[in-house]
């Protein structure tokens, strides 16, 4: 009985999006566990398929053909429109689900009280979590993220240089991992969706 998915009035799915090493994966895992929902980590599924098909290294985002991104977003949109009782974690999940009223969209940021992204904290998290060198973590956070955003600006935002997926207008709730630890963050989200134990 304990593993029956929790039903939340008005919320069929939850998306969790965030910049690299912002804390989105941890939050998605904890939400899925608390609600007994499935969790889909879009980036992992997508990258594994693309890497094996094209023989790319994990960091070769610039070599990824546009049609792979478009196919993944179409698949993700289909999941977001049809599934329920699922936490979908990917950078573009909230953006893709922006018009779906029964999808609760969460953005995880790591910003100081002045709203400045804490890039060094995100780099440090990758160094500690993934056992990367500092240079590798900087490459991931600074170079890969920029490459992805530039590609998505071209594909989804008519080359608007100011567009980014972490624009707060696409989300129902912002969680700040700079000021909230993982347990506080999941409690905050659960309260906002009306979950009662």
pLDDT tier, 61 (very low <50, low <70, confident <90, very high otherwise): low
pTM over 0.95: no
Q: Check residue 160 and give its pLDDT.
A: 94
Q: What angle do CA 40, 28, 142 make, to 5 degrees?
A: 95
Which tokens in the block code for residue 32?
A: 């899925």
Rounded Cα distance between 151 and 48, Å, is 19
Instruction: Say how many C-beta atoms besides its own lie within 10 A of residue 28's C-beta.
Output: 27
Least confident of 119-123, 146-150, 189-193: 146-150
Rounded Cα distance between 166 and 18, Å, is 7
Domains observed in the chain: 13-191 (3.40.50.300)
Rounded Cα distance between 4 and 144, Å, is 39
Q: Check residue 107 and give its pLDDT.
A: 98
- At 156, give phi and psi (nearest 5°): -120, -10
Residue with tokens 């890969």: 144
Rounded Cα distance between 73 and 93, Å, is 9
Question: Is 69's pLDDT higher than 60?
Answer: yes
Which tokens in the block code for residue 133?
A: 């060198």
Which residues share a beta bridge with 41? 89
Strands 86-89 and 38-41: parallel
Least confident of 30-34, 44-48, 125-129, 177-181: 44-48
Residues whose CB falls within 8 Å of the CB of residue 78, separated by 6 or more in sequence, listed in order = none
Q: What's the whole-number mean pLDDT along residues 66-73?
A: 84
């Amino acid at each position: 009985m304990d593993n029956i998915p929790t039903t939340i009035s008005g919320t069929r799915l939850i998306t969790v999006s965030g910049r690299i090493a912002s804390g989105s994966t941890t939050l998605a895992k904890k939400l899925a566990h608390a609600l007994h929902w499935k969790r889909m980590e879009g980036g992992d599924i997508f990258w594994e398929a693309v890497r094996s098909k094209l023989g790319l290294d994990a960091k070769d985002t610039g070599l990824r053909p546009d049609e792979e991104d478009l196919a993944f977003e179409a698949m993700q949109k289909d999941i977001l429109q049809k599934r329920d009782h699922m936490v979908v974690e990917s950078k573009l999940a909230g953006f893709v689900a922006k018009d779906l009223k029964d999808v609760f969209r969460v953005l995880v940021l790591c910003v100081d009280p002045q709203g400045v992204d804490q890039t060094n904290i995100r780099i440090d998290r990758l160094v500690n979590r993934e056992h990367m060198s500092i240079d590798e973590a900087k490459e991931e956070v600074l170079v890969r993220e920029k490459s992805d955003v530039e590609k998505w600006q071209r594909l989804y935002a008519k080359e608007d240089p100011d567009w980014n997926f972490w624009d707060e207008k696409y989300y129902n709730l912002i969680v700040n991992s700079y000021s909230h630890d993982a347990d506080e963050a999941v409690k905050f989200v659960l309260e906002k969706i009306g979950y009662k134990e």
